[in-house]
Amino acid sequence: MNLETLMFYLLSALTVFAALRVITSRNPVHAALFLVLAFFSTAGIWMLLEAEFLALTLVLVYVGAVMVLFLFVVMMLDINLERLRVGFWKWFPFAAILAVVLLVEMVMVLGSSSTAGTNVNVAKHAADYSNTKELGRLIYTEYIYAFELAAVLLLVAIIAAIALTLRQRSGTKHQVQGDQIQVRSKDRVRIVSMPSVARPDTRK
């Protein structure tokens, strides 16, 4: 067993463990942190596949941005753990059926004749091969329409999120920076010139 295989099994075991803990840990914050760990080890596996752009983007986007906001929300929520577990057995059969369907689907995809037995060999490249450049070339030539569509979709989502949450509340006290910058000292401060008066002599 060479180092690469060892690393693969290590990272895979870590991914599976973290993924399991995401759904089994009681504390939602722990679950979110385990999801971060799962992303990390997945990025490691991608790194082993020499897909360094995807691996680093996974860390940058999902770990560095998405999960931070996720944690933010989860930490701010006042979650009552007792109430969460109410009705667990009531919904268990439904969830079990869903899980079985998902499992069957996965087995069918992975075990079907089109993918089974095919030895997926990753082409090895020289050290100066840039995965990023190749991906960029493909995205901006062959898959330009799909890429643009995805971008527009994200833009629509951004605008929709802003439109849904933007409310004008009346009666809030907030500063208008433009007005603050416009303020000049002569608008606020009046300098009065007063002649000084000699101090009355109190010694006696």
Partner 1 sequence: MEAQVLHFFQWFWDLFGLWNVVWSFVEPVWPLIWNLMKIVAIVAPLMIGVAYLTYAERKILAYMQVRVGPNRVGYYGLLQPIADGIKLLFKELIVPIRSNKLLFAFAPVMVLAPALAAWAVVPFADGMVLANINAGLLFILAMTSIGVYGVIIAGWSSNSKYAFLGAMRSAAQMVSYELPMGFALVCVLLAAQSMNLTDIVMGQQSNAGMLGWYFVPLFPMFIVYLISGVAETNRAPFDMAEGESEIVAGFHVEYSGMGFALFFLGEYANMILIAGLTSLFFLGGWLNPFHGWMLVGALTEWVPGIVWLLGKMFFVLFLFLWFRATFPRYRYDQLMRLGWKVLIPLTLVWVVVVAAWMQTPYWLWTPASVQG
Out of 128, 179, 187, 201, point to the residue binding partner 1 (CB under 8 A): 128
The residue range among 97-105, 153-161, 170-178, 192-200 that interacts with partner 1, by the rule CB under 8 A, is: 170-178
Out of 72, 92, 140, 143, point to the residue binding partner 1 (CB under 8 A): 72
Out of 14, 19, 48, 52, point to the residue binding partner 1 (CB under 8 A): 52
- Cα separation, 43 vs 55, whole angstroms: 4
Give which of 178, 179, 176 is closest to 188, Cα–Cα.
Answer: 179
Q: Report DSSP state, residue 194.
A: -
Min dist CB 116 to partner 1, Å, is 33
Out of 29, 73, 138, 149, point to the residue binding partner 1 (CB under 8 A): 29
Helical spans, DSSP H, in 49-87: 52-57, 67-76, 81-85
Min dist CB 178 to partner 1, Å, is 11
Report CA dihedral (150, 153, 155, 160) to the nearest 10 degrees: -160
Out of 80, 118, 170, 177, point to the residue binding partner 1 (CB under 8 A): 177
Report CA dihedral (74, 78, 84, 85) to the nearest 10 degrees: 110
- Cα separation, 150 vs 152, whole angstroms: 5
- Binding stretches for partner 1 (CB under 8 A): 29, 33, 36, 52-53, 56-57, 59-60, 63-65, 68-69, 71-72, 75-76, 128-132, 174-175, 177
